[in-house]
A and B are shown apart, each in its own frame.
Chain A
Amino acid sequence: EPEVTQTPSHQVTQMGQEVILRCVPISNHLYFYWYRQILGQKVEFLVSFYNNEISEKSEIFDDQFSVERPDGSNFTLKIRSTKLEDSAMYFCASTWSFSNQPQHFGDGTRLSIL
């Protein structure tokens, strides 16, 4: 069964540094998402992406965050200047249709900011 894959599985970064989290969505999917899950808390929506542009973003997704689909397979989340509170699991998800379809999630990247 096709999977969403995320790399790295664990990223340790000094506060203030830039970090790029990478995702390869399922190949025929058209809609892409990033979610965040702080330890012990619920999964929170960050951003959705379709047709090479952001469809929607939450209040968490401020100017420090950006997303990009640099080629036909990768979907990246960049945090420009990381803060301690950015430490969390970051999940990528994808789906092939806009409405009423379950999102398929990767296993996440654990981001630890020191």
Chain B
Amino acid sequence: GESVGLHLPTLSVQEGDNSIINCAYSNSASDYFIWYKQESGKGPQFIIDIRSNMDKRQGQRVTVLLNKTVKHLSLQIAATQPGDSAVYFCADHSTDNYGQNFVFGPGTRLSVLP
């Protein structure tokens, strides 16, 4: 099946800096994307989503960018804080996935340095 993957397994940033986490997907039928945050011992927590008819969406301190031409998704976190330290997953849904199961990427660990 199609897969979603991440370019960087780990990312370390200084507190206050901006973070960018990248994700590549391979299914051209993908129509909906989600970024999840997973803290140790917790389940994935929804951060932000974007539909394929958009190329940018902003939330509180987070922005997701979608480039369908190169099948690339990114999550930008502004003014990164210690509480942002976690593993971040992108997840992809495509129109050929009946039942709305998502394909998850392997995750990027974000470490915020003091």
Contacts and interface: CB of A to CB of B under 8 A. Distances in A.
Interface string B77-105: 00000000000010101000111111111
B98 A105 contact: no
B25 to A, nearest CB: 13
A75 interface: no
A107 B100 contact: no
Contacts of A99: 32, 100
Interface stretch (B11-19, B41-49, B65-73): B41-49
Contacts of A48: 99-101
Interface string A95-108: 10011111111111
Given A44-B104, A58-B101, A107 B32 contact: no
Interface string A24-61: 00000001010100000111110010100001101000
B11 to A, nearest CB: 17
A106 B43 contact: yes
Contacts of B32: 99-100
Contacts of A43: 44, 89, 91, 104
Given A42-B89, A56-B98, A105 B43 contact: yes
A45 B101 contact: yes
Contacts of A4: 43
Interface of A: 4, 6, 31, 33, 35, 41-45, 48, 50, 55-56, 58, 91, 93, 95, 98-108
Q: Which 9 A-B pairs have the closest CB atoms?
A: A56-B99, A105-B43, A55-B99, A48-B99, A45-B101, A43-B104, A102-B46, A42-B106, A107-B43
Given A6-B43, A56-B99, A103-B100, 8 more contacts: A35-B104, A43-B104, A44-B104, A48-B100, A99-B100, A106-B43, A107-B41, A108-B42
21 contacts: A4-B43, A41-B106, A42-B105, A42-B106, A43-B91, A45-B101, A45-B103, A48-B100, A48-B101, A50-B99, A55-B98, A58-B101, A91-B43, A98-B100, A99-B32, A99-B100, A100-B51, A102-B46, A103-B34, A103-B100, A107-B42
